Amino acid sequence: MADRWLELGDGVYARRYAELDLTVGLVVGREKCLVVDTRGDTVQGTELAAAVRGITPLPWTIAITHAHFDHSFGTGAFGRCEVWAHPGCREDLVIDGENARTTRAQWYRDRGEPGIADAIAATELVLPAHLVDDERELSLGGRTVVLAHHGPAHSGHDLTVRVPDAGVLFAGDLVEHGPGGTFTTDSFGTDTVLDGWPPALAAIAALDYPIVVPGHGEPVGTGFVVRQQRLLADLVALVESGASDDEIVARSALPPEVTRAALAR
């Protein structure tokens, strides 16, 4: 898959990457643009910044959906600008950012990709200075976007970005469009709050946006979000029933390895 832009509406774009099947976003107003997530290191962030400049010369603002490295470590490439995130995102970068940088650099070295490893190791982490506890509207000039937190789920601090006039919602990793159209073992991290994820997806589904952009994979619709919400709600119900892990794996609609990854978190 070649790195590419997808035009989702007038001035609203998703950019797809082969690396980690990542999807980031761009919303263009009359006065400025909003970049949704910045990729995984300064080199990758620089590529994204150049790609944005291929679409618009307007000054940019950044929204970070969550602190995981592949969504937030490229921010430094954008220079001095407003960076919005949930307070928990900033806290996570302060507490665990250095460890995440070291861990991910080693992960890429172990995969035989020293170039990416070196880029992550050399990346300077940027802390978001503009924080959203619940919901915040941002004006881009002639267009308003809405940043919203729907509770702890994929991480403790997920943020979505809505573009009401275009019917597009950037969900970050709250929505996972992995191979086969489901979650993967990487969907569940050490900061995942499993029983909070179904309510967060229900809140997104209730907004009924025609286009929902996941943090990984191709854009989807509300029906896909509803299906994911049901899969996780059923898994949470199995956990709360007191069934053993083996019983849960046998009864879960998710693949066995994905179910075990969820249970481990």
List the domains of the chain with CATH numbers: 4-264 (3.60.15.10)
Q: Is the pLDDT confidence value at 265 over 90?
A: no
User: How far does Cα 220 stand from its chain's mean position?
Assistant: 14
| Continuous H helices in the chain | 42-53, 69-72, 87-110, 114-121, 197-207, 222-240, 245-251, 256-264
- How many Å apart are CA 229 and CA 199, to the nearest integer? 8
Phi, psi of 170 (to 5 degrees): -90, 115
Q: What is the mean pLDDT of residues 184-203?
A: 96
Residues 6+ apart with CB under 8 A from 242: none
Q: Is the pLDDT confidence value at 182 over 80?
A: yes
Q: Please, are residues 201 and 175 in contact by the beta-carbon 8 Å criterion?
A: yes
Q: What is the mean pLDDT of residues 233-237?
A: 97
**Number of residues that make up the chain:** 265
Q: How confident is the model at residue 178 (pLDDT cuts 50, 70, 90)?
A: confident
Q: How confident is the model at residue 120 (pLDDT cuts 50, 70, 90)?
A: very high
Q: How confident is the model at residue 2 (pLDDT cuts 50, 70, 90)?
A: confident
Contacts 24+ apart (CB under 8 A), 204-207: 204/150, 204/160, 204/169, 204/171, 204/174, 204/175, 205/229, 207/162, 207/169
Q: How high is the pLDDT of residue 228?
A: 96
Phi, psi of 194 (to 5 degrees): -60, -45
Radius of gyration of the chain from its Cα atoms, rounded to whole angstroms: 18
| In the chain, % of residues over pLDDT 90 | 97
Q: How high is the pLDDT of residue 195?
A: 97
Average pLDDT of the chain, as a whole number: 97
Nearest of 131, 124, 122 to residue 89 by alpha carbon: 131
Q: What is the mean pLDDT of residues 217-237?
A: 97
Q: Is the pLDDT confidence value at 181 over 90?
A: no
| In the chain, % of residues over pLDDT 70 | 100
User: In this structure, are strands 168-176 and 211-216 parallel, antiparallel, or unpaired?
Assistant: parallel
- How many Å apart are CA 247 and CA 258, to the nearest integer? 14
Q: Summarize pLDDT for 77-112 with one digit per residue, the tens.
A: 999 999 999 999 999 999 999 999 999 999 999 999
DSSP 65: S
Tokens of 175: 């929505």
What three-state secondary structure class fits 210? coil
Q: Summarize pLDDT for 241-259 with one digit per residue, the tens.
A: 999 999 999 999 999 999 9
- How many Å apart are CA 265 and CA 244, to the nearest integer? 15
Q: Summarize pLDDT for 127-177 with one digit per residue, the tens.
A: 999 999 999 999 999 999 999 999 999 999 999 999 999 999 999 999 999
Q: Is the pLDDT confidence value at 1 over 80?
A: no
Nearest of 149, 131, 165 to residue 28 by alpha carbon: 165
Q: Please, are residues 37 and 25 in contact by the beta-carbon 8 Å criterion?
A: yes
Q: How high is the pLDDT of residue 180?
A: 76
Handedness of CA 168, 169, 170, 172 (dihedral sign): negative
